[in-house]
C-alpha cells in the first residue's frame, strides 16, 4: 500500500471520533431532553420535603357549642443510626407498655425496605403512633435514656359528645383510591371518611405546609433549599358551624335508643338541619385515634348496620304522611276542592278492590280526611285523577303529571344534602308501570301509591323536607347540615328557594288538616304542647310489624321546626313517632323540657321493640 | 547561537493558536466543573487552597507554566532524548510497583510530602515519544512483523508495569496507540477484528439466556454465529475482491438458516445453534480449500478469522462464567443491562445518569446542582466530573464540551497530517488517540454506555497528575508542530 492511501485513514480516524461524539450527544439528548424521570429522581434524591400539617377545622353546633376539636397526640420517632443498639430494651418497653417481641418486630419492619420504602438510617422513622398524654409524659422524662428516639407532635380528632356520629363523620388514613383521586394526599395522611368530615374535607383540612430541605447521599440534612424560598407555611383548616342543635340531637338519639329508625328536623326558613338521628348509632369517639380500624371493622360487621345513616340512606314507604302531598296535588289539579267529599266505609271498595280504613264518619272532605288519615278519600282522589280522560287523554299522562308534582316536592331524586351517600328514594312514573304491567294498568292498579304504600319510597330526610315545604306553604330550601364555613361559604344552592307545583292556597288547606289532626285527630298528643303544632301520622305497612311515622311542624304560623320521625316496626304512628315528635318540638321551641316531658322522654328511651335476632 | 535568537518570534507565529484556544477553554470549563463538583454547602470561598477548587487553580497555574517551559525547549530535544525519557519512566513505573502507599487498592500513586503523583499519567507522553522515535527510523514499516512487534513491545511494557500497580484502567489507555498504528499502516482487519470481538462479546453474553420464540435456541449464540458468517463473507468481498463468492456464502448461510428456522418453528423444535455450527464448519472448510487451491493467503486469513471468532466467543463465555471474580462478572452484567443492581455496582452509573438527565436543556446553573453537590455521585470531581457538567450546564453545556473535544481531536489530526517528518506525525496521532480514548471511555461510562473504567476526563477531572500529564502530552506536540517550517541544519 502506498503512503497516499494511508493518508486517507485520517478520514477513518476523524470519522470514528465524530461518530463517538454524535452518539454521545444523542444519548445526552435522550436523557436530558426527552425524559423527565431523571429530574424527578434527582429531586427525590436531594429534596427532603418535610410536611407541616395544618390543624383541622373544628366543628360547632348552631349555638356555638364545640362538637369536634383537635387533641395533641404524640408519635414516637427513631433514627436508627443514633439508636445503634445502645438501648435498655426492658426499660423502654415498660415505659411504652409494649412487649419485647413487639419492639423487635417493629424495629425490623422499619428497616425492611419492602415495608418501609423511604427508609434511611439517618432520618426519623415512625416507631409508634398516637401515644396518649400519660405515656407521653412518662416517655418524655425518660427520653434522654433512649438514644435515637424522639417525639413528634400530631393531632387527632376529639369529640365532645357521644352524639351525632352520622352527621359529624370521622377521619381516617387515606386509602389508595383517595390518593389516586387527589394528589394532595400522601400515604399516611388523614382524610374525612364520613359525614361532614368527608363532604367538607377541602374546607376542614386546610393546606399542608412544606419545608424543602436538602439531604445528602447519607440522608443527612444539609440545610434549606434556596434558603427557604420555596417553603410554604401550613394554612389552618376552616371551622364549621352546623345547623345542628346538639341538645335536640342528643334527645333524638336517646329516644331512638334500642329502636331502628331515623329522625330529621329542619328549620323551614333556612333548610338547616336541626337534628339528624339514625338508630342504631355509635359513639363517634370509637372512630378516633389508633383504634379506629378495629372499631370500624366491628361496626361494619354488625348486623344492625350502625354505620348506615338511615336518615338519608334508608328508603321507606312514607305511609299516610304522603297523603298531604296527594291532597296538594288533587287540589291544585282541580280534581277536588275543599268541599269535595268521598265516601269511606271502612275503606275504599271499587270493582272488587278493597283498601281498608279505620272507623270514622263518611263521607268526608279533605280537612277531616287529613285529620283522621282516611285511606278511602285519597284512593278516590287518585282514582278520579287517573281516570279523568277530559284532563288527561291517557293514564300515562295522568301518571306523569302526578310524578311531576311529587318530584317538585323533592321526592324521587336526591335532595342534595351536604352529606355523602344520600339515596334518592323511588317515585314511579308511567314507563315504570308500563314495564311492570306490560302497558295494561290503570288508576286502580296503582291505587296504593295514594296512601304512601306500594312502589313509593322516601328517605326520612325527604319526609322531613315535605313537612318543611308545607310549613313554608309551598317552597323549600335544600336541607343542609352546615350553616356556616368560617372564612368560606356554603354552596349557593342552599340559599335558593325551590317552589313546588302545588298552589299556595292548597297548602293552607293541608295545614288546616294537619292542625286539625294535632287538635283532635291522629296527632292529638300535640295538643299537650303550649304552641300550635301541625302534624300527620303514618303507619307504613311492610312485611313485618307496621312502621311508626310522624311528620310535623311548629308553630303553625312562622314555623321554626319541621320534622319527620320514622320508627321501624313501631306500630301506629301514635305509638312511637307522635310522642317523640312532641318531645322534640317542645325541646326546640321552649329550649328545655318540663319535668313531665322529660319523664316522657325517658320512658320513650326505655321502650324497646322486639326485632328478633337478625333484622335485615 | 544566532539561530537561537531569531527562533523565538518564529515559535509564537507558527504556534497553533486554535489548539491553545481550545485547551484554555477546556481548562476554564473544567475548573468551573471542579468548583461545582467539590463545593460543599456553607463554603463560599471557591479559591481557598483548602478546597479542591482552590487547589485546582494551583494545578492549572503550574500546568500553564509547564506548557510554557515545554514551548521554550528546542523541538529536537524530544527527538534526541525520546528513548532516555522512555527508559526513565519505565524504571519509575517499575519502582512504583513496590510503592508502599496503597490508595483505593491501587499502588499507582507516589507520595512525595504533600504531593501525590501518578507516574502512569506521565508515561503516556514518554511512550508516545519512544514510539515516534522508533517508527520514524529509516526503513521502519508496519508490514514487517519484526518492526510491528517492536512497536507493540514499546506499548505493552508500560501496560504490564501499570497492571502490576493494579491500575488496570490506566493500562487500557495504552491500547489507544493501536489507532496510531492503523494510521501508520497496520492492516484495518486487525482493528476490525477487535471491534468484531467486542460485538460478539456484548451480543453473545447479553442475549445468551434469551430464547428464539419458544425453541431451545439461544439468541446470543445464534446471532453471533450468523455474524461470523456475514463478517467472513464481507472479508472475502473486501480482501479477495470476489463478489460472487461473498454473495454465495451469504445466500447459502441465510437460506439454510431460514429453512432450519421454519423447520424448528413448524415441524420439530430443535436447537438451531447446531445448524449454525455446521454452516460455520462448512464455511471454514470451503475457505481453507479455496486458500489451498488459489494460493491466496487472504482466504486462509478469513478462515482463521472465522475459527478465531468462534473460539473467542466460546472461551469468553467460559471466562465470564468460570474464571472471572464475582465482582467483575457483576460489573459486566450491569453494563450489559442484565442486572439492575442500583445499590451496588450499578449505583454510580445510575446516579450519574440521574445527575446528567436532571440537567435538562440549560442545566441548573453554576453551583446549583443537587445531585452532585449532595454527594450522590461518587468520584464526582475526578472520574465522574462530566455529571457536574451535565447537571449544572445542561444539554447545551455538555454537548458543547463534547464538541470542544471533537474540535480538539480533529484539529490534532490536521496538525499531525501537516508534519514534514514522520516523528511529528506519529507523536501527533499518539496524542489524539489518547485524548479520544479518554473521552470515549470516560464520558461513555458516565452516560452508562461503556464499562466503568476509572480514567480521568482530560482537563476536567480534578488532580495534578492527570492535568500535568495531558498538558505535557499536548504541548510537546505543539512545540514539535511549531518547529515544522524551520530549516534544520
Same domain, B41 and B174: yes
The yes-or-no verdict on residue A87 having pLDDT over 90 is no
Instruction: For residues A333 and A387, give the distance between their C-alpha atoms in angstroms, rounded to a whole number.
Output: 13
Same domain, B220 and B178: no
Is there a contact between B370 and A214 if contact means CB atoms under 8 Å apart?
yes
Is there a contact between B375 and A16 if contact means CB atoms under 8 Å apart?
no
Q: So what's the pLDDT on residue B338?
A: 60
Q: So what's the pLDDT on residue B105?
A: 65
Residues A416-429: b if buried by 16+ CB within 10 A, e if exposed: ebbbbbbbebebbb
Is there a contact between B417 and A7 if contact means CB atoms under 8 Å apart?
yes
- Tell me if A27 is assigned to some domain: no
Q: So what's the pLDDT on residue A90?
A: 85
Same domain, B176 and B206: no
Of A1, A14, A45, the CB nearest to B371: A45
Q: Does B356 touch chain A (CB under 8 A)?
A: yes
The yes-or-no verdict on residue A603 having pLDDT over 50 is yes
Distances (CA, A) of B354 to A46, A109, A571, B35, B357: 11, 29, 73, 20, 5
Same domain, B199 and B308: yes
Residues of A in contact with B399 (CB under 8 A): 25, 28-29
pTM exceeds 0.90:
no
Instruction: For residues B151 and B156, give the distance between their C-alpha atoms in angstroms, rounded to a whole number.
Output: 9
DSSP letters of A137-206? HHHHHHGGGSTTEEEEEEEEEEESSS--HHHH--EEEPPHHHHHH-TT--TT-EEE-SHHHHHTHHHHH-
The yes-or-no verdict on residue B236 having pLDDT over 90 is no
Give the start-end residues of each E strand in B315-405: none
Q: How confident is the model at residue B41 (pLDDT cuts 50, 70, 90)?
A: low
Tell me the torsion sign for CA atoms B206, B212, B215, B218: negative
Distance from CA of B26 to the nearest CA of A (A): 16
Asked if A478 and A490 touch (Cβ cutoff 8 Å), the reply is: no
Residues of A in contact with B41 (CB under 8 A): 214, 222-223
SS3 for A366? helix
Measured from the Cβ of residue B124, the count of other Cβ atoms closer than 10 Å reads 24
Same domain, B383 and B265: no
Task: Find all residues with CB under 8 Å of B133, minimum gap 6, and list them.
Answer: B79, B82, B83, B423
Of A16, A24, A39, the CB nearest to B357: A39
Distance from CA of B343 to the nearest CA of A (A): 12
Same domain, B167 and B217: no
Same domain, B160 and B196: no
Closest CA to B101 of B91, B110, B112: B110
Asked if A260 and A568 touch (Cβ cutoff 8 Å), the reply is: yes
- Tell me if A132 is assigned to some domain: no
Distances (CA, A) of B41 to A46, A56, B454: 13, 37, 27
Measured from the Cβ of residue A613, the count of other Cβ atoms closer than 10 Å reads 5
Is there a contact between B354 and A45 if contact means CB atoms under 8 Å apart?
yes
Same domain, B117 and B15: yes
Q: So what's the pLDDT on residue A488?
A: 87
Q: Does B192 touch chain A (CB under 8 A)?
A: no
- Tell me if B224 is assigned to some domain: yes
Is there a contact between A13 and B355 if contact means CB atoms under 8 Å apart?
no
Residues of B in contact with A32 (CB under 8 A): 356-357, 359-361, 390, 394-395, 398
Q: How confident is the model at residue A55 (pLDDT cuts 50, 70, 90)?
A: confident
Across the range B245-268, mean pLDDT stands at 86
Percent of chain A with pLDDT over 90: 54
Is there a contact between A24 and B443 if contact means CB atoms under 8 Å apart?
yes
The yes-or-no verdict on residue B40 having pLDDT over 80 is no
Q: So what's the pLDDT on residue A528?
A: 92
Task: Find all residues with CB under 8 Å of A165, minimum gap 6, and list them.
Answer: A195, A281, A282, A283, A284, A287
- Give the pLDDT confidence of B303-320 residue by residue, as tens digits: 888 888 888 888 887 877
Q: Does B388 touch chain A (CB under 8 A)?
A: no
Across the range A388-395, mean pLDDT stands at 91
- Tell me if A612 is assigned to some domain: no
Q: So what's the pLDDT on residue B2?
A: 39
Measured from the Cβ of residue A477, the count of other Cβ atoms closer than 10 Å reads 22
In terms of CA atoms, which chain A residue is nearest residue B435? A17
Residues of A in contact with B436 (CB under 8 A): 16-17, 20
Mean of the per-residue pLDDT values for chain A?
88
Same domain, B6 and B109: yes
Is there a contact between A13 and B402 if contact means CB atoms under 8 Å apart?
no
Instruction: For residues A262 and A537, give the distance between their C-alpha atoms in angstroms, rounded to a whole number.
Output: 15
- Give the pLDDT confidence of A146-176 residue by residue, as tens digits: 877 877 777 788 899 999 999 999 888 888 8
Can you give the residue range of the structural domain that contains B279? 189-323
Q: So what's the pLDDT on residue A3?
A: 57
Q: So what's the pLDDT on residue B340?
A: 56
The yes-or-no verdict on residue B345 having pLDDT over 60 is no
Residues of A in contact with B182 (CB under 8 A): 9, 12-13
Q: Which residues of A touch B (CB under 8 A)?
A: 1, 6-7, 9-10, 12-14, 16-18, 20-21, 23-25, 27-29, 31-33, 35, 37-39, 41-43, 45-47, 214-218, 222-223
Region of B185 please: left (phi>0), alpha (psi -120 to 50) or beta: left
Domain total in chain B: 2
Element (H, E) at B422: helix B422-446
Residue B320 DSSP one-character state: I
The yes-or-no verdict on residue A599 having pLDDT over 80 is yes
Q: Does B371 touch chain A (CB under 8 A)?
A: yes
Across the range A183-212, mean pLDDT stands at 86
Q: Does B439 touch chain A (CB under 8 A)?
A: yes
Is there a contact between B183 and A10 if contact means CB atoms under 8 Å apart?
yes
Across the range A203-207, mean pLDDT stands at 90
- Give the pLDDT confidence of A68-85 residue by residue, as tens digits: 998 888 888 887 777 766
- Tell me if B155 is assigned to some domain: yes
Give the start-end residues of each E strand in A448-545: 475-477, 482-485, 497-499, 534-540
Best of B358, B363, B430, B457 to substitute, by most chain A Cβ atoms within 10 angstroms, is B358
Q: Does B198 touch chain A (CB under 8 A)?
A: no
Closest CA to A59 of A490, A482, A419: A482
Least confident of A42-51, A536-545, B87-96: A42-51
Is there a contact between B357 and A23 if contact means CB atoms under 8 Å apart?
no
- Tell me if B334 is assigned to some domain: no
Best of B135, B140, B180, B354 to substitute, by most chain A Cβ atoms within 10 angstroms, is B354
Q: So what's the pLDDT on residue A217?
A: 67
- Give the pLDDT confidence of A332-343 residue by residue, as tens digits: 999 999 999 999
The yes-or-no verdict on residue B228 having pLDDT over 60 is yes
Mean of the per-residue pLDDT values for chain B?
84
Distance from CA of A476 to the nearest CA of B (A): 59
Q: Does residue A555 have a cis peptide bond before it, meaning omega lies within 30 degrees of 0?
A: yes
- Tell me if A134 is assigned to some domain: no
Residues of A in contact with B419 (CB under 8 A): none
Same domain, B167 and B268: no
Residue B488 DSSP one-character state: P
Of B185, B375, B440, the CB nearest to A20: B440
- Tell me if A241 is assigned to some domain: no
Q: So what's the pLDDT on residue B44?
A: 63
- Tell me if B231 is assigned to some domain: yes
Distances (CA, A) of B37 to B247, B372, B385: 55, 6, 7
Distance from CA of B167 to the nearest CA of A (A): 25
The pairs formed by B280-285 with CB atoms below 8 angstroms and a separation of 24 or more are B280/B225, B280/B228, B280/B229, B280/B306, B280/B310, B283/B229, B283/B232, B283/B249, B283/B253
Number of DSSP helices (H) and strands (E) in chain B, helices first: 20, 2
Domain total in chain A: 1
Q: How confident is the model at residue A492 (pLDDT cuts 50, 70, 90)?
A: very high
Distance from CA of B140 to the nearest CA of A (A): 13
Distances (CA, A) of B111 to A564, B93, B135, B465: 94, 14, 35, 12
DSSP letters of A395-429? HHHHHHHHHHHHHHTT-SS----SSTT----B---
Residues of A in contact with B413 (CB under 8 A): 10, 13-14, 17
Instruction: For residues A404 and A397, give the distance between their C-alpha atoms in angstroms, rounded to a whole number.
Output: 10
Helix B347-357 vs helix A37-46: crossing angle, to nearest 10: 110
Of A12, A24, A32, the CB nearest to B394: A32
Q: Does residue A506 have a cis peptide bond before it, meaning omega lies within 30 degrees of 0?
A: no
Best of A4, A13, A45 to substitute, by most chain B Cβ atoms within 10 angstroms, is A13
- Give the pLDDT confidence of A258-296 residue by residue, as tens digits: 999 999 999 999 999 999 999 899 999 888 777 788 888
- Give the pLDDT confidence of B181-190 residue by residue, as tens digits: 999 888 888 8
Is there a contact between A45 and B356 if contact means CB atoms under 8 Å apart?
no
- Give the pLDDT confidence of A401-441 residue by residue, as tens digits: 999 999 999 999 999 999 999 999 999 999 999 999 988 89
Q: How confident is the model at residue B341 (pLDDT cuts 50, 70, 90)?
A: low
Task: Find all residues with CB under 8 Å of A279, minimum gap 6, and list them.
Answer: A253, A256, A257, A259, A260, A261, A262, A310
Of B357, B371, B395, the CB nearest to A35: B357
Task: Find all residues with CB under 8 Å of B294, minimum gap 6, and list them.
Answer: none
Closest CA to A263 of A466, A567, A482, A534: A567
Least confident of A199-213, A305-319, B14-28, B391-405: A199-213
Is there a contact between A216 and B357 if contact means CB atoms under 8 Å apart?
no
Asked if A409 and A475 touch (Cβ cutoff 8 Å), the reply is: no
DSSP-derived pairing of the beta strands A547-554 and A561-567: antiparallel
Higher pLDDT, A126 or B328: A126
The yes-or-no verdict on residue B3 having pLDDT over 50 is no
- Give the pLDDT confidence of B366-391 residue by residue, as tens digits: 877 777 777 777 777 788 899 889 98
Same domain, B305 and B206: yes
| CATH code at position A484 | 3.40.710.10
Can you give the residue range of the structural domain that contains A578? 246-606
DSSP-derived pairing of the beta strands A475-477 and A221-224: unpaired
Is there a contact between A6 and B399 if contact means CB atoms under 8 Å apart?
no
Is there a contact between B355 and A42 if contact means CB atoms under 8 Å apart?
yes
Q: Does B36 touch chain A (CB under 8 A)?
A: no
The yes-or-no verdict on residue A326 having pLDDT over 90 is yes
Instruction: For residues A290 and A76, give the distance between their C-alpha atoms in angstroms, rounded to a whole number.
Output: 13
Q: So what's the pLDDT on residue B165?
A: 82
- Tell me if A339 is assigned to some domain: yes
Of A17, A24, A42, the CB nearest to B358: A42
Is there a contact between B447 and A1 if contact means CB atoms under 8 Å apart?
no
Q: How confident is the model at residue B1 (pLDDT cuts 50, 70, 90)?
A: very low
In terms of CA atoms, which chain A residue is nearest residue B442? A24
Is there a contact between B358 and A1 if contact means CB atoms under 8 Å apart?
no
Instruction: For residues B425 and B132, give the distance between their C-alpha atoms in angstroms, rounded to a whole number.
Output: 8
The yes-or-no verdict on residue B489 having pLDDT over 60 is no
Amino acid at each position: 500500500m502506498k503512503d497516499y492511501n494511508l493518508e486517507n485513514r485520517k478520514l477513518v480516524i476523524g470519522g470514528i471520533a465524530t461518530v463517538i461524539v454524535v452518539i454521545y450527544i444523542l444519548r445526552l439528548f435522550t436523557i436530558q431532553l426527552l425524559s423527565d424521570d431523571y429530574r424527578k429522581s434527582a429531586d427525590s434524591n436531594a429534596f427532603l420535603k418535610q410536611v407541616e400539617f395544618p390543624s383541622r377545622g373544628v366543628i360547632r353546633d348552631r349555638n356555638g357549642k364545640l362538637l369536634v376539636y383537635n387533641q395533641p397526640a404524640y408519635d414516637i420517632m427513631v433514627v436508627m443510626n443514633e439508636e445503634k443498639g445502645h438501648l435498655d430494651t426492658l426499660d423502654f418497653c415498660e415505659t411504652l407498655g409494649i412487649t419485647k417481641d413487639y419492639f423487635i418486630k417493629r424495629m425490623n419492619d422499619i428497616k425492611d425496605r419492602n415495608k418501609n420504602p423511604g427508609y434511611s438510617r439517618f432520618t426519623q422513622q415512625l416507631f409508634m403512633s398516637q401515644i396518649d398524654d400519660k405515656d407521653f409524659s412518662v416517655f418524655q422524662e425518660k427520653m434522654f435514656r433512649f438514644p435515637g428516639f424522639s417525639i413528634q407532635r400530631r393531632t387527632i380528632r376529639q369529640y365532645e359528645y357521644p352524639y351525632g356520629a352520622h352527621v359529624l363523620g370521622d377521619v381516617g388514613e387515606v386509602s389508595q383510591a383517595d390518593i389516586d383521586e387527589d394528589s394532595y394526599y400522601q400515604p399516611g395522611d388523614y382524610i374525612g371518611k364520613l359525614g361532614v368530615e368527608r363532604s367538607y374535607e377541602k374546607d376542614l383540612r386546610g393546606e399542608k405546609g412544606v419545608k424543602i430541605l436538602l439531604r445528602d447521599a447519607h440522608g443527612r440534612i444539609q440545610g434549606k433549599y434556596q434558603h427557604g424560598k420555596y417553603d410554604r407555611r401550613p394554612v389552618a383548616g376552616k371551622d364549621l358551624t352546623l345547623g345542628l342543635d346538639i341538645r335536640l340531637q342528643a334527645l333524638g338519639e336517646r329516644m331512638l335508643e334500642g329502636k331502628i329508625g331515623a329522625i330529621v328536623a329542619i328549620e323551614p326558613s333556612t333548610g338547616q338541619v336541626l337534628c339528624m338521628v339514625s338508630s342504631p348509632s355509635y359513639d363517634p369517639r370509637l372512630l378516633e385515634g389508633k383504634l379506629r380500624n378495629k372499631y370500624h371493622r366491628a361496626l361494619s360487621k354488625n348486623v344492625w348496620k350502625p354505620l348506615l345513616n338511615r336518615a338519608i340512606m334508608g328508603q321507606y314507604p312514607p305511609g299516610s304522611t304522603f297523603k298531604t302531598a296527594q291532597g296538594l296535588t288533587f287540589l291544585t289539579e282541580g280534581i277536588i276542592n275543599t268541599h269535595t267529599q268521598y265516601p269511606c266505609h271502612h275503606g275504599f271498595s271499587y270493582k272488587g278492590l278493597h283498601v281498608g280504613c279505620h272507623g270514622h264518619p263518611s263521607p268526608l272532605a279533605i280537612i277531616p280526611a287529613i285529620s283522621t288519615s282516611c285511606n278511602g278519600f285519597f284512593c278516590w282522589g287518585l282514582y278520579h285523577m287517573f281516570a279523568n280522560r277530559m284532563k288527561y287523554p291517557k293514564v300515562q299522562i295522568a301518571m306523569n303529571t302526578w310524578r311531576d308534582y311529587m318530584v317538585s316536592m323533592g321526592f324521587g331524586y336526591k335532595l342534595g344534602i351536604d352529606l355523602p351517600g344520600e339515596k334518592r328514594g323511588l317515585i314511579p312514573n308511567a314507563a315504570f308501570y308500563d314495564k311492570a304491567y306490560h302497558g295494561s294498568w290503570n288508576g286502580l292498579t296503582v291505587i296504593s301509591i295514594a296512601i304512601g304504600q306500594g312502589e313509593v319510597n322516601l328517605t326520612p330526610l325527604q319526609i322531613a323536607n315535605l313537612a318543611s315545604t308545607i310549613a313554608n306553604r309551598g317552597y323549600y330550601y335544600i336541607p343542609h347540615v352546615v350553616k356556616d364555613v368560617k372564612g368560606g361559604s356554603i354552596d349557593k344552592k342552599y340559599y335558593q328557594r325551590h317552589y313546588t307545583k302545588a298552589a299556595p292556597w292548597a297548602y293552607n288547606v293541608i295545614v288546616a288538616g294537619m292542625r286539625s289532626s294535632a287538635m283532635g285527630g291522629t296527632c292529638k298528643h300535640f295538643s299537650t304542647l303550649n304552641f300550635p303544632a301541625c302534624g300527620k301520622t303514618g303507619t307504613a305497612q311492610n312485611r313485618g310489624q307496621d312502621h311508626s311515622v310522624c311528620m310535623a311542624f311548629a308553630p303553625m304560623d312562622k314555623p321554626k321546626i319541621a320534622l319527620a320521625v320514622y320508627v321501624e316496626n313501631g306500630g301506629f304512628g301514635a305509638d312511637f313517632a307522635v310522642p317523640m315528635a312532641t318531645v322534640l318540638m317542645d325541646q326546640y321551641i321552649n329550649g328545655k323540657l318540663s319535668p313531665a316531658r322529660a319523664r316522657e322522654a325517658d320512658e320513650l328511651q326505655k321502650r324497646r321493640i322486639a326485632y328478633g335476632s337478625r333484622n335485615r | 547561537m544566532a539561530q537561537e535568537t531569531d527562533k523565538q518570534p518564529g515559535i509564537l507565529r507558527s504556534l497553533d493558536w486554535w489548539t491553545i484556544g481550545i485547551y484554555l477553554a477546556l481548562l476554564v470549563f473544567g475548573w468551573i466543573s471542579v468548583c461545582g463538583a467539590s463545593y460543599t454547602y456553607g463554603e463560599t470561598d471557591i479559591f481557598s487552597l483548602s478546597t479542591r477548587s482552590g487547589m485546582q487553580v494551583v494545578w492549572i497555574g503550574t500546568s500553564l507554566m509547564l506548557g510554557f517551559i515545554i514551548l521554550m525547549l528546542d523541538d529536537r530535544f524530544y527527538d534526541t532524548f525520546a528513548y532516555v525519557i522512555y527508559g526513565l519512566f519505565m524504571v519509575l513505573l517499575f519502582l512504583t510497583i513496590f510503592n508502599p502507599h496503597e490508595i483505593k487498592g491501587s499502588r499507582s500513586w507516589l507520595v512525595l510530602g504533600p504531593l501525590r503523583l501518578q507516574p502512569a499519567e506521565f508515561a503516556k507522553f514518554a511512550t508516545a515519544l519512544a514510539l515516534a522515535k522508533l517508527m520514524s527510523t529509516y526503513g521502519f514499516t508496519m508490514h514487517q512483523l519484526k518492526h510491528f512487534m517492536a512497536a507493540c513491545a514499546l506499548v505493552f511494557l508500560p501496560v504490564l508495569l501499570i497492571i502490576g500497580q493494579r491500575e488496570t484502567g490506566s493500562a487500557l489507555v495504552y491500547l489507544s496507540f493501536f489507532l496510531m498504528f492503523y494510521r501508520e499502516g497496520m492492516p484495518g482487519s486487525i482493528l476490525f477484528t477487535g471491534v468484531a470481538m467486542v460485538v460478539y462479546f456484548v451480543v453473545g453474553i447479553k442475549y445468551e439466556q434469551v430464547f428464539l420464540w419458544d425453541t431451545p435456541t439461544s439468541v446470543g449464540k445464534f446471532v453471533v454465529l450468523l455474524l461470523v458468517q456475514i463478517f467472513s463473507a464481507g472479508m472475502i468481498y473486501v480482501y479477495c475482491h470476489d463478489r460472487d463468492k461473498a454473495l454465495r456464502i451469504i445466500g447459502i448461510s441465510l437460506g439454510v438458516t431460514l429453512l432450519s428456522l421454519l423447520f424448528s418453528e413448524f415441524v420439530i423444535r430443535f436447537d438451531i445453534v447446531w445448524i449454525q455450527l455446521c454452516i460455520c464448519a462448512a464455511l471454514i472448510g470451503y475457505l481453507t480449500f479455496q486458500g489451498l487451491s488459489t494460493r491466496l493467503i487472504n482466504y486462509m486469513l478469513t478462515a482463521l478469522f472465522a475459527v478465531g471468532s468462534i473460539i473467542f466467543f466460546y472461551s469468553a463465555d467460559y471466562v465470564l462464567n468460570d474464571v472471572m471474580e464475582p465482582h467483575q462478572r457483576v460489573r459486566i452484567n450491569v453494563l450489559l443491562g442484565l442486572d439492575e443492581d442500583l445499590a451496588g455496582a450499578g449505583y454510580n452509573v445510575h446516579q450519574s445518569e440521574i445527575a446528567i438527565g436532571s440537567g435538562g436543556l440549560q442545566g441548573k446553573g453554576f453551583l446549583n446542582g443537587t445531585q452532585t453537590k449532595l454527594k450522590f455521585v461518587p468520584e464526582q470531581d475526578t472520574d465522574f466530573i462530566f455529571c457536574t457538567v451535565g447537571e449544572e450546564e445542561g444539554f447545551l453545556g455538555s454537548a458543547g464540551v463534547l464538541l470542544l473535544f471533537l474540535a480538539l481531536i480533529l484539529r490534532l489530526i490536521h496538525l499531525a497530517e501537516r508534519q514534514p517528518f514522520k516523528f511529528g506525525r506519529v507523536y501527533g496521532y499518539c496524542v489524539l488517540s489518547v485524548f479520544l480514548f479518554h473521552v470515549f471511555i470516560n464520558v461513555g461510562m458516565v452516560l452508562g454506555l461503556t464499562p466503568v473504567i476509572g480514567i480521568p476526563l482530560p482537563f476536567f477531572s480534578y488532580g495534578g497528575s492527570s492535568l500535568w500529564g495531558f498538558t505535557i502530552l499536548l504541548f510537546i506536540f505543539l512545540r514539535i508542530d511549531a518547529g515544522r517550517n524551520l530549516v534544520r541544519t
